[in-house]
Amino acid sequence: MTIDAQTTQLDPLAGTLDRLIEQLSSAAPIAKMSYQGRVLDCARRVLVHPDGLELLQTRAVKMEQAGIFAGTDWENPSALLPRLVGNTLLHAAPPTIVLECLNLLRMLAVVQGAHTIPNFPAENARHFLTQVLALNLDRLFGATSEAARAQASPLSAAVDRLFGMLLDRIGAAGILGRLVDEIWRILAQRPLQVDHVKTMILQIALAISERGESLGEARLGADRLISALFGPTNLCREDPGLDVYCERLSMADARVVQAEASGMARAMLDTGLVSDYHAMLLRWILQNQHTHLLSDALGLGSVGLDALRRYEPLIHRLIDDAVHPGTGQAVLGLALMLERGILYSPPIAPSLWRLIHAPLSPTCEATLQSAFGTALPAKVHLLSGVLMLLGQPLGIGQGNNPTCQSARALSMWALNDPDYLLWLVATVTHSDRLVMHFEGQPLDSAVLPLGLASHTPLDADPVSTILVPHLDRIYAEMGRRTAGRYEDPHKWINPELHGWWVGRSFHIAVDVATGKLTDHDGFLRDFHASYHPQHNGNQPVIHPQPAGIAVTDANGSFIGWHAISIIRVAPDQNGIMRVYFFNPNNDSGQDWGLGIVVSTHGHGERFGEGSLPFGQFASRLYIFHDDGLRVADMVPVPQDDIDAIIGMARESWARDR
């Protein structure tokens, strides 16, 4: 039964809500769920009242203390993802929507200093709410789509009022500016998945054009983003539509078309974003036999240009099959793949031709359609995904899935062993199974139980969508087969899973049986001897190496173990020795607490790398591999350096170890 928000009296509801909160607070843990439902139902009736938000805000803290979030995904605020809030508020069941609203009110209380949450300071709460607001600007500015209106629920008006309250209390100043800064920070890592970034840029454009919002100093950066996506060149400056753009190209002279090709490439390489107009330009170039413009449209240097000329039929076919409006990011992947020069490796071109011609299995096709829709054929999405991954090996992310091992493996293969990656793709798309070997025994993903992921990752790139379920099962089976060896299973798993080039010498800082530190001093000296150029005879990292870190939050508190890969170690422009690494957690820029903040640009990072000064990185390291090829005259590490690193570790994840 619906409740007329205009006629419902708020005072009786307030009394009922207070009574239910008391009952929830005194309920035994086993009965909490029943009382949670009663509180949420009453809170829903309060929420739809025009004046209900203020009442809920004054009680949000009491509800948390009573246990409204106990046993739910909202129990640990530091694990929440701002990008999921909008979808929850739009599509979830009413109790879940109410719970999300109560969480936002709880965050607001933290920002205002009325509440504290352990290990979640006010700045974290403000950042969370800022991101939520930035990702839902359409609700703030009334730019709701027809689809959103069709999906509106009885709670939609209340949710819109909540966003208005948050904007009023947090303040509009800085939201759009911080959003622009956040977009540039994300794009500096050149991620494969940029749909959410494009959505944010669209919302910024609407906010500027329809509401006249001021961005201050961020306006220039916003204009660059908006133009790169919706009008990167003169012939499409006002976003006229793809059909009009093609007509303009057909009527343009050679000089103008040349300028269009160069302008598209500049916008792409400047931002990492590819406009649908760019994809259409490449298709128009092929269809109208202007192939001499391809190198300009891709922004190629000498290596890429030579590869384009050498493999011209293959590149033309890849553009024809993989580059469409809707898969425009494949243009960037193609350009960067050519610049890497990997086509000169003999297996790569034949492997790509095989992938082009081979049909997809029905299961693979259905999986890709579930993740990416049916507007374009599944094969288009797969080929575009392959180009993106081969061009941006460090741009892959695990999505909201516990599959860092699989994402890291795909990145390492794309970077170091791309023909093996293409073989994996061909195998799965042909037979819906993957057979890998562990200690001489075959592991068939088709008959193995589920691994860490309980479902196909639909919030990932196309290659991950089809490969990760198989890799995850195989990884889990390797873990089962090493159980009971009383050592960390990654000692055996990492070399078998990733490849021969993973160092067989294995180092771990933690005793597996007790979880306590074991010879941390020796572990750190070994790490310096393996990776620090000033202590290993200036030996570089030859192949990316798997490593394990102890992830900590902004307070330095231990969160869990995580798989990363060490890419290289080198001094930055200021002479500070840094470890450059790949983190499959979608965004490498993280605050690990106590002054350790991972950098993604500004310290010599290449696209997709995170970096830290050597000692700071070592303070969070607990597993690494090396090849055992030590030099005879290693320079010893000063004890003060080791003590400083141990101190950083024991102030954070190793505090109780």
* pLDDT value of position 3: 39
The sign of the CA dihedral 424, 430, 436, 440 is negative
> Which residue type, as a one-letter code, is found at position 641?
D
Tokens for 365? Answer: 């096709």
pLDDT tens digits for range 215-257: 666 778 889 999 999 999 999 999 999 999 999 999 999 999 9
Three-class SS of 134-200:
HHCHHHHCCCCCHHHHHCCCCCHHHHHHHHHHHHHHHCCCCHHHHHHHHHHHHHCCCCCCCHHHHHH
* pLDDT value of position 9: 72
Q: Percentage of the chain surpassing pLDDT 90? A: 70
Distance, in Å, from the CA atom of 268 to the CA atom of 245, rounded to the nearest integer, reads 18
Q: Percentage of the chain surpassing pLDDT 70? A: 95
- The full set of domain ranges for the chain reads 10-171, 183-230, 233-344, 361-483, 505-650
Distance, in Å, from the CA atom of 418 to the CA atom of 397, rounded to the nearest integer, reads 17
Q: Given the structure tokens 């202007």, which residue do they identify?
A: 290
* pLDDT value of position 171: 66
* pLDDT value of position 130: 85
Where is average pLDDT lowest: 18-22, 148-152, 344-348, 490-494? 148-152
pLDDT tens digits for range 589-609: 888 989 999 999 999 999 999
* pTM for this entry: 0.81
* pLDDT value of position 643: 97
Report the pLDDT averaged over residues 106-126.
90
> Which residue type, as a one-letter code, is found at position 369?
Q
143 pLDDT more than 50 = no
The phi, psi pair for 634, rounded to 5°, reads -65, 145
Any residues with CB less than 8 A from the CB of 408 and at least 6 apart, and which? 546, 563, 564, 565, 582, 584
Report the pLDDT averaged over residues 410-436.
97
Report the pLDDT averaged over residues 374-398.
97
pLDDT tens digits for range 38-77: 999 999 999 999 889 999 999 999 999 999 999 898 998 9
Please provide the DSSP assignment of 462-483 as one string: HHHHHHHHHHHHHHHHHHHHHT
Distance, in Å, from the CA atom of 246 to the CA atom of 630, rounded to the nearest integer, reads 60
Distance, in Å, from the CA atom of 288 to the CA atom of 247, rounded to the nearest integer, reads 12
149 pLDDT more than 50 = no
Report the pLDDT averaged over residues 330-341.
98
Q: How far, rounded to the nearest angstrom, does the alpha carbon of residue 247 sit from its chain's CA centroid?
A: 38
Neighbours of 217 (CB within 10 A): 8
Helix ranges, 171-275 (H): 175-187, 195-211, 219-230, 242-251, 254-271
Tokens for 582? Answer: 């790949």
* pLDDT value of position 607: 94
Are the CB atoms for 443 and 437 separated by under 8 Å? yes
When the pLDDT of each residue in the chain is averaged and rounded to a whole number, the result is 91
pLDDT tens digits for range 246-282: 999 999 999 999 999 999 999 999 999 999 999 999 9
Are the CB atoms for 419 and 408 separated by under 8 Å? no
Report the pLDDT averaged over residues 567-596.
92
Any residues with CB less than 8 A from the CB of 153 and at least 6 apart, and which? 94, 97
* pLDDT value of position 443: 97
- Cα 129–555–592 angle (5° rounding)? 90
Report the pLDDT averaged over residues 523-532.
96
Are the CB atoms for 21 and 58 separated by under 8 Å? no
Any residues with CB less than 8 A from the CB of 568 and at least 6 apart, and which? 540, 541, 580
Among candidate residues 263, 267, 194, 185, the one with its CA nearest the CA of residue 218: 185
Distance, in Å, from the CA atom of 223 to the CA atom of 285, rounded to the nearest integer, reads 27
Cα R_g (the chain), whole angstroms: 27
Among candidate residues 410, 541, 379, the one with its CA nearest the CA of residue 472: 410
257-278 b/e with 16+ CB inside 10 Å = b?
bbebbebbbebbeebbbbbbbb
Report the pLDDT averaged over residues 384-410.
93
148 pLDDT more than 50 = no
Where is average pLDDT lowest: 175-184, 245-254, 316-325, 562-571? 175-184
615-653 b/e with 16+ CB inside 10 Å = b?
bbbbbbbbbbbbeeeeeeeeeebeeebbeebbebbeebb
Report the pLDDT averaged over residues 566-571.
97
- Collapsing DSSP states into helix, strand and coil, what is residue 624? strand
573 pLDDT more than 50 = yes
* pLDDT value of position 87: 84
27 pLDDT more than 80 = yes
Q: Given the structure tokens 């103008």, which residue do they identify?
A: 256
Distance, in Å, from the CA atom of 469 to the CA atom of 455, rounded to the nearest integer, reads 8
